């Protein structure tokens, strides 16, 4: 079963791991949300993992074999956003030399994540509302209507209810996208997940960068546990990458952390030892788990698994041998081919 509770009290569904009761409430709803096929709205501060949650919903759904595409609505002006989503026909504007299908057409049968939907203009909101209501759209410059079969998941760090009250977000669109609403708690509300996330990030970066970092010094862990993480999980990930890059042995020390954390760490140097939370498991076990998960996701096709992990195939082979990972007799490259 995708959702499981381990002896450590750790909950996992796909790539989402947590020990937090707040996150457990989110994780427990994912299979039902995925199965429903309904439009969903993910709300949470920047860096809380909204895209990861959307990918997980997609992977648990009946659309899992179809494309998942994500677009940041706040990063593009209306004309570019519309051309990316709706596509265009030749001659629609200067430089449009040939037809280009939009993401609503390319991702047919799959899922489209509209990230930062709260940053869209009223004009775009009207066009999106039509897609949700009629399941059809017009490419730019075309008079023909194109049907679409995509599941839309929207995400935002803004309070859309307040925006509706202020008149800056359409009420009818809000009700259309908020069929199923999910709030992701910020990392400061789930501090018990910090050691677990550190463990996962170090294991993954050991793979990506071919490093051998195994531990976090108690003083460094105390700093990490006491930080408020305004950038949430993404900030923690960047901090750990910084530490792995600067660590020249096997233990991340306070000196390997970003300067802004070191400067604010004086108050934590006398942190009582009972506040220290060690990594939950030896990092080689977490590293092996990450590799095994990638292999399973890719039908034990080692080349695809290496690409999934962001490492070279030769590095994956070496890690499999070093960590003693047992592979099945057949892989996913072709029907029944045996490993050599």
- Please indicate, yes or no, whether residues 309 and 272 belong to a single structural domain of this protein: no
Indicate which CATH number applies to the domain containing 293: 1.10.10
Strand runs labelled E in 62-127: 68-72, 87-88, 100-101, 111-115
Which domain range does residue 201 map to?
188-280
Looking at residue 31, what is its pLDDT? 93
List Cα–Cα distances, 279 to 33, 216, 236, 260, in angstroms. 32, 8, 15, 23
Centre a 10 Å sphere on the Cβ of residue 195 and count the other Cβ atoms it contains.
20
Q: At which of 168, 185, 202 does a domain end?
A: 185
- Please indicate, yes or no, whether residues 125 and 245 belong to a single structural domain of this protein: no
Indicate which CATH number applies to the domain containing 95: 3.40.50.300
- Please indicate, yes or no, whether residues 167 and 295 belong to a single structural domain of this protein: no
> Residues with Cβ < 8 Å from 238, sequence gap 6 or more?
231
Query: 139: which 2 tokens?
Result: 């490419």
Query: 324: which 2 tokens?
Result: 């003693």
Q: Which segment of 73-87, 140-154, 293-307 scores lowest on mean pLDDT?
A: 293-307
Q: Which segment of 129-138, 189-198, 226-235, 316-325 scores lowest on mean pLDDT?
A: 316-325
- Please indicate, yes or no, whether residues 309 and 270 belong to a single structural domain of this protein: no
Confirm whether 271 is domain-assigned: yes
- Please indicate, yes or no, whether residues 82 and 142 belong to a single structural domain of this protein: yes
The pTM assigned to this predicted structure is 0.78
**Rounded Cα–Cα distance for residues 226 and 107 (Å):** 42
Burial degree of 158 (CB within 10 A; 0-12, 13-18, 19+): middle
**Rounded Cα–Cα distance for residues 44 and 186 (Å):** 7
- Please indicate, yes or no, whether residues 111 and 203 belong to a single structural domain of this protein: no
Centre a 10 Å sphere on the Cβ of residue 241 and count the other Cβ atoms it contains.
16
* Average pLDDT score, the chain: 85
Using pLDDT thresholds of 50, 70 and 90, give the confidence band for residue 283.
Answer: low
Structural domain tally of the chain?
A: 3
Confirm whether 331 is domain-assigned: no
- Please indicate, yes or no, whether residues 202 and 297 belong to a single structural domain of this protein: no
For 34-89, write each residue's pLDDT tens digit: 999 999 999 999 999 999 999 999 999 999 999 999 999 999 998 899 999 999 88
- Please indicate, yes or no, whether residues 13 and 51 belong to a single structural domain of this protein: yes
């Amino acid at each position: 079963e995708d959702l499981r509770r381990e002896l450590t009290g750790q909950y996992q569904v796909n790539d989402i791991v947590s020990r937090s009761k707040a996150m457990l409430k989110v994780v427990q709803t994912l299979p039902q949300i995925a199965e429903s096929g309904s439009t969903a709205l993910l709300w949470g501060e920047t860096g809380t993992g909204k895209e990861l949650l959307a990918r997980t919903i997609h992977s648990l759904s009946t659309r899992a074999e179809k494309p998942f595409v994500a677009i940041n609505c706040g990063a593009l002006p209306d004309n570019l956003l519309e051309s990316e989503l709706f596509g265009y026909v030749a001659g629609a504007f200067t430089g449009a030399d040939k037809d280009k299908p939009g993401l609503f057409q390319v991702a047919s049968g799959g899922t489209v994540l509209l990230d930062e939907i709260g940053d869209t203009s009223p004009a775009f909101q009207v066009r999106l509302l039509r897609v949700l209501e009629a399941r059809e759209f017009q490419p730019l410059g075309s008079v023909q209507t194109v049907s679409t079969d995509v599941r839309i998941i929207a995400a935002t760090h803004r309070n859309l209810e307040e925006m509706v009250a202020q008149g800056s977000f359409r009420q009818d669109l809000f009700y259309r996208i908020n069929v199923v609403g999910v709030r992701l708690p910020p990392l400061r509300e789930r501090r018990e997940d910090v050691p677990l996330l550190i463990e996962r990030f170090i294991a993954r970066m050991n793979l990506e960068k071919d490093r051998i970092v195994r531990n976090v010094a108690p003083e460094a862990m105390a700093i990490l546990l006491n930080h408020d993480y305004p950038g949430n999980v993404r900030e923690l990930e960047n901090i750990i990458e910084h530490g792995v890059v600067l660590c020249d042995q096997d233990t991340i020390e306070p000196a390997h952390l970003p300067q802004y954390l070191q400067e604010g760490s004086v108050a934590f140097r006398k942190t009582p030892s009972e506040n220290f939370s060690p990594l939950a498991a030896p990092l080689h076990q977490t590293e092996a788990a990450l590799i095994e998960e990638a292999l399973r996701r890719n039908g034990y096709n080692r080349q695809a698994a290496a690409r999934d992990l962001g490492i070279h195939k030769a590095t994956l082979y070496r890690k499999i041998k070093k960590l003693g990972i047992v592979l099945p007799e057949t892989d996913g490259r072709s029907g029944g081919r045996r490993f050599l």
